[in-house]
């Protein structure tokens, strides 16, 4: 059986639902709040990668307020974007194929703010003190991580182009 006009086999909703809950549980174990994890997983399994609040609420059996809060969190993390439904005032929420790339690269600004704060911390406690040395090591780690993330993203773009034919 196929979805109307799509030419693709129909998916078993129970199997998809189990996957959504399983993947969401993995995200929760990694520190993502439960509702955003569920909404993100639901968007990932959508063929279009786009859903309305009502569609997400129905699929996940959650309230519009729960969807709204989850989307707010996911938007702040650069994992989804909001867009207007054409000809309507309703919003749709979209997950992009490059959501991990976007989420990780957006951390650069956060890392730079943490580095600035850590430099201030080293200066305030003294660079030769045990606390200053600990802060300096933390600062060095974030400086290292920032450079490694940039290099990783360059390698990812090359790998994605090779594997999926897009940059």
Between residues 95 and 8, which one has the greater pLDDT?
A: 95
Return the residue matching tokens 């997983």. Answer: 41
- pTM over 0.75? The answer is no
The pLDDT, as a whole number, for residue 102 is 72
Residue burial 80-108, b: 16+ Cβ < 10 Å; e: rest: bbeeeeeeeeeebbbbeeebebeeebeee
Query: What pLDDT digit, counting tens, does each position of 92-101 carry?
Result: 999 977 777 7
Q: Where are the domains of the chain?
A: 13-96, 106-164
Pick the CATH number of 13-96 from 1.10.1240.10, 1.10.10.10, 3.40.640.10, 1.10.630.10: 1.10.10.10
45-66 average pLDDT score: 94
- The single-letter DSSP state of residue 2 is B
3-state secondary structure of 75: helix
Query: What pLDDT digit, counting tens, does each position of 117-153 carry?
Result: 999 999 999 999 999 999 999 999 999 998 998 898 8
Average pLDDT in the chain = 88
């Amino acid at each position: 059986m196929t979805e109307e006009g799509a030419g693709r086999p129909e998916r078993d909703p129970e199997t998809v639902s189990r996957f959504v809950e399983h993947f969401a549980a993995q995200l929760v174990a990694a520190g993502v709040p439960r509702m955003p994890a569920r909404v993100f997983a639901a968007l990932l399994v959508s063929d279009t990668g786009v859903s309305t609040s009502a569609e997400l609420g129905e699929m996940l059996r959650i309230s519009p307020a729960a969807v709204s809060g989850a989307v707010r969190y996911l938007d702040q993390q650069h994992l989804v974007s909001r867009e207007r439904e054409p000809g309507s005032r309703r919003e749709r929420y979209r997950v992009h194929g490059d959501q991990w790339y976007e989420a990780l690269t957006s951390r650069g600004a956060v890392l730079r703010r943490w580095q600035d704060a850590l430099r201030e911390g080293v200066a305030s406690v003294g660079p030769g003190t045990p606390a200053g040395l600990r802060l300096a090591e933390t600062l060095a780690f974030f400086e290292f991580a920032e450079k490694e993330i940039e290099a990783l993203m360059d390698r990812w773009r090359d790998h994605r182009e090779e594997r999926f034919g897009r940059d």
